[in-house]
Amino acid sequence: MVAKPLSILVIDENGARASIIEAGLRGDGHDVVTILSDVTRVARQITEIDPDVIVIDLGNPNRDMLENMFQLTRAIKRPIAMFVDSSDKAAIEAAIDAGVSAYIVDGLRKERVRPILDMAISRFNAFSRMERELEEARSALQDRKIIDRAKAILMKSKGLSEDAAYQLLRKTAMNQNRKISDIAQSLVTASQLLEP
Q: How far is the CB of 11 from another protein (least distance, A)?
A: 13
Residues 82-97: b if buried by 16+ CB within 10 A, e if exposed? ebbeeebeebbebbee
Residue among 29, 38, 44, 61 that touches another protein (CB under 8 A): 61
Beta strands 80-82 and 8-11 are unpaired
Residue among 37, 45, 47, 71 that touches another protein (CB under 8 A): 71
> Cβ closer to another protein: 92 or 183?
92
Tell whether residue 190 is a contact of another protein (CB under 8 A). Answer: no
Per-residue mark of binding to another protein, 78-107 (x: CB under 8 A): --xxx--xx--x--xx--x----x-x----
Tell whether residue 126 is a contact of another protein (CB under 8 A). Answer: no
Pair 143, 181: CB distance under 8 Å: yes
> Cβ closer to another protein: 85 or 136?
85
> Cβ closer to another protein: 62 or 191?
62
Residue among 62, 172, 186, 191 that touches another protein (CB under 8 A): 62
State the Cα–Cα distance between residues 131 and 127, nearest whole angstrom: 6
Q: Given the rule CB under 8 A, which residues bind another protein? A: 40, 58-65, 67-68, 70-71, 80-82, 85-86, 89, 92-93, 96, 101, 103
